[in-house]
Structure 1
Amino acid sequence: MSKMSTEMVRHALNGPTMGTRWSALFFTEPGFDPNVVHGTLQSAVDEVDAQMSTWKPDSDLMRLNAAPVGEWVAIPDRLFAVLRLGLEIGRASGGAFDIGMGDAVTAWGFGPDAAAPARIRAVMDAPRCPAHEVLDICGTHVRKSAPVALDLNGIAKGYGVDRLGETLRDHGVDNALVGIDGEMRAHGLRPDGKAWTIAVEAPEAEHRTLHSILALQDAAVATSGDYRHWVEVQGRRLSHTMDPTRGAPLLASPASATVVARSCAEADAWATALMVLGADTGAALARRRGLDVLFLLRDADCSTRGVGVGRLFSEVPAAFALAQAE
């Protein structure tokens, strides 16, 4: 480690947001006051939550949800950016990522209210159109051409991570690792010139154990999995990830999908989409779009097997088995 790196002061900040916590790790010259930065970081994620939360009845997203079909609604710039990106990835994924699943999320008990059997039956019986087919955007105004309940839980945390990084850069901090609930973004390098290291969890509900380590510079990573947030119905655990075609939790999916992308919002949304598509179809789409993805799959003997796509992960599934055998 160089003399310069030993002189740097380590700052590890965190605070509450979106039912979990945000974090920011960075190093500065001595004399840097982190208190002002802490306040602006908190304000940045508070702004995202105030605009995009489904848990806050007065959020801008819930105001849009409450608006009548056909009425143009003015929305703030940050919500507009996330809606636009969500619709783009919805189209690109063939509807596997759908920000119009708010009714299903609520009915199955993943929102502020407990699961409700009558609402579950209603959302599963109702005809469904993806949000990118029923949401119109013009300037900073949005309207629904058909009833839809918008939910940004599959992209808002990632966007919040991006805002943490942007806020640090506004304060002259160009090298940092920021995150919310496991969604992470690396800016620049550590003081020793090495990339930031980020753990990929093994898909185990009862424990937090390591599967692998990523070394990232100027990139973001997000993981969607079936092992952290779930409900139990008739003795069966059902993941929080919704199947847009059924209005219900996925019945079969990879244990997890980890995506590395330019922004954390993109990584967050694509991780959800690839969970929905599954390892075979998802891997094919990821290759076509040049995505870096690691699928973790459970085999019949309960062992975990990795399938990687892209330059950061092996393209050949057999390579994982070979590495274990050696």
Structure 2
Amino acid sequence: MTAERYLRPEVIRQVARLDLRAKFIVEGFLSGLHASPFHGFSVEFSEHRKYSPGDDLKDMDWNVYAKTDKYYVKKFEAETNMTGYLVMDLSASMGYTYRQELTKFEYGICLAAALAYLMIYQQDPVGLVTCDEKIRAVIPPKSKRSQLPTMLSVLANLKPSGQTNLASSMMQLATLLRSKSLIMVFSDLLTDTDELMKSLYRLRFPGHEIILFHILDEAEVHFPFDGLIEFEDVEASDRLVLDAKGMRSDYLDAVEGFRTKLREECGRANIDYVPMDTSVGFDKALLEYLIQRQRRFG
């Protein structure tokens, strides 16, 4: 199966190819803001130089001014090209959709494609990691344009299945990385939150940056069910018949508590937590996040 055929016919008619849609999103973003959303990820202080009209005042070194009564700005330079890893959760629950066009897994692939294009556009190497209970495949980071279809063709032949242990996979990933990297995770995070956070702290300790894209289906977020409904745990194959109306309030409270806990824990770890649901177009959701990040670090 090719990367193009992976997309559903409706999506193919809309954009022809996934990488073209990714290109459209990224070029639109860059032309609108004229800056990378990952600015500030991998820079270090280089030296001072005298202030020139037009320099950004936020780069002014006021400590030097206080000592010398002269205006100097700080110069920064990139340590290295930023290396990115797209981490895709392959667990069975990622294959779920209630009535949306894309499953959570497909939604994640669309997000990953756009971010891969963005990094390659910036000439930053990007690679792919797929995992469920452990890491299943690794495509080493490259910045060549051919890297995007290489990654998409791998994803095109995958079907989410089995159980997940994202925390174990993240611990495994931490042992594989040799330089500071940007880790972008695409998952529904239906796993042990405490163990997951331990693994993310392990990645943060040596300086890796993390963006956690928490992808839930519209039905998981809004619970549009009524009456007696049979629910199935796709990873454990357990089935339960429950009164949807009677449990809606408790369920929505639990989901909100789940997201709030993740948001707070990620905030303490300086991790970008990005909640998403599949009823919002992935392009709109991603652009909103990129704009917020660019403004925060720009």
Task: Compute the TM-score of the two structures, normalised by the length of structure 1.
Answer: 0.25
Kindly indicate which of the two structures has a greater share of residues assigned to helix: 2
Greater Rg, structure 1 or structure 2? 2
Kindly indicate which of the two structures has a greater share of residues assigned to strand: 1
Which structure has more RCO (C-alpha within 8 Å, separation ≥ 6)? 2
